[in-house]
Every structure is written in structure tokens, then in C-alpha cells.
Amino acid sequence: MAKIDDVFSISSFDPAKFADSFRDFAEKGAQQSREAYAKMKVAGEEAGKTLETTVQTAQAGVAEIGHKAIDALRVNAEHSLTHMDALLSVKSVAELIELQTSFLRKQTELTIEQAKSMQETSKQVAEKLAKPSKEAAEKVMASFKAA
């Protein structure tokens, strides 16, 4: 019966060992928390840089598209004013029809050309905008694969 008493006795519990185990557990937890915080801090800083780059790219893209639109408006206005000036010197209905037909054909060609130019510029801006986010996502995925 002495053996049963030894197993259940309080004297087999060593508080020093328990304290050491708890201290080790706490230190490991604290170290892991510091490492996780450092990783999150770096990730947050990188996300901030990515966002800043994206905003700057967006501003530049909007300005570029805006300049294209202003140029298109300027060209269209000059073309229309030139046409109106030519209409003032028309001497016959046949000449009026010829001028109007020529104007409409040129205006259609010009509009198509301007639309293609705007489409290409918009595509380039969208690609520039997506690039930093894509690179950041690829970096994050690579870090997950490495871990």
C-alpha cells in the first residue's frame, strides 16, 4: 500500500520543474509572437509601398488618358471649324453634299483612330496598375510555398 500512497502523494509534484516548463513554454510563445509581429510588420510596410506605387501609377494614368481626351477634343474642334469655314464658301448643292460627305468620312476615320488610341492607352495604364499588386501577390505566394 505504500506504493499507492507514493503515486498520489503531493510530494511527487515538483514545483521547480513545473515552473521551468512553464517558463520555457512562455519564452517560446513570446519568441514566436515577436517573429510573427516582425513578419506582419514587414508585410504591412510592403503593402503600403505597393499601395503608394499603385496610387501614383493611377494618377499618372488618369493624367495620360486626360491628355489624350483633350487632344482628341482639340483635333475634333479644329476639324469641325475647318469644315464650317469650308461650308461658308459653298456655291452649289453638289459642292455642299461633297463637302459634307468628305467631312463625315474623315470624322469617322478620325473617331475610330482616336478610339483605338484611347483603348491602347487604357490597356497600358491597366497593366501598369496591376503590375505592383501582381508582384506583391506572387511574393506572398512564394513565401507561403517556402514556409
pLDDT in tens, 59-105: 999 999 999 999 999 999 999 999 999 999 999 999 999 999 999 99
Residue 3 lies in a domain: no
Is 9 a member of any domain? no
pLDDT of 12 over the 90 cut:
no
d(CA 50, CA 132): 6
Cα separation, 88 vs 117, whole angstroms: 32
- Cell numbers placing 51: 499601395
C-alpha Rg value of the chain to the nearest Å: 37
Q: Any long-range contacts for 132-138 (C-beta under 8 Å, 24+ apart)?
A: 132/50, 132/53, 132/54, 132/57, 133/50, 133/54, 135/50, 136/46, 136/47, 136/50
In this prediction, residue 144 carries a pLDDT of 66
Q: Is residue 122 part of a domain?
A: yes
Is 20 part of a structural domain of the chain? Answer: yes
- pLDDT for 141: 76
For 79, what's the count of Cα atoms within 13 Å in the CB-facing half-sphere? 18
What residues make up the domain containing 21?
15-146
pTM surpassing 0.85? Answer: no
Q: What local confidence, expressed as pLDDT, does residue 19 receive?
A: 73
In the prediction, which pLDDT does 5 show? Answer: 52
- Counting the structural domains of the chain, the total is 1
| Three-state secondary structure call for residue 89 | coil
On whether residue 7 sits in a domain, the answer given is: no
- pLDDT mean over 16-41: 81
